[in-house]
Structure 1
Amino acid sequence: MTEHEEQQVRIELARLRQEHRDLDAAIAAMVALGSGDTIQIQRLKKRKLVLKDRIQFLEDQIVPDIIA
């Protein structure tokens, strides 16, 4: 992976992590206020899991798992 590609991956990681945190805050607020319906909260949680998987994939690309 070139330096430019790694930089692009790091930028994407930062964006995805921020979106993940935002979703976490939104879900917590909806649950605390009881304002969100169950389906909406489930959709946000599913999106959060998709983001987590994508974040893990990109992190693995930057730091490959090397078996000693």
Structure 2
Amino acid sequence: MVELKLEHRDLDAAIVRLQLDPDADELAVKRLKKRKLQLKDCIAKMESSLIPDEPA
């Protein structure tokens, strides 16, 4: 999970750099944002699976 969090952070930094570049490829930015969102969802699922279910 640590690797996923690092990749998520790195993607965030890459997106910021690309958005500052007026010549940046918008499609590349969108792809990075999509990957970042996929990582976020994956991390959230992994973290929620670590929390034990409470009996009703």
TM-score class normalised by the smaller sequence? 0.7 to 0.9
**1:14-64 deviations in Å (ceiling 9; x for gaps):** 000000000000000000122421111000000000000000000011113
Matched, 1:28 2:16: yes
Superposed, which structure 2 residues align to 1:23-62 within 5 Å? 23-62=11-50
Partner of 1:6: none
Q: Once superposed, what is the RMSD of the aligned Cα atoms?
A: 1.6
CA distance in 2 between counterparts of 1:67 and 1:39 reads 46
TM-score (norm 2): 0.87
TM-score (norm 1): 0.73
Q: Percent of pairs identical after alignment?
A: 46
Aligned length: 56
Runs of 4+ displaced beyond 6 Å: none
CA distance in 1 between counterparts of 2:53 and 2:15 reads 32
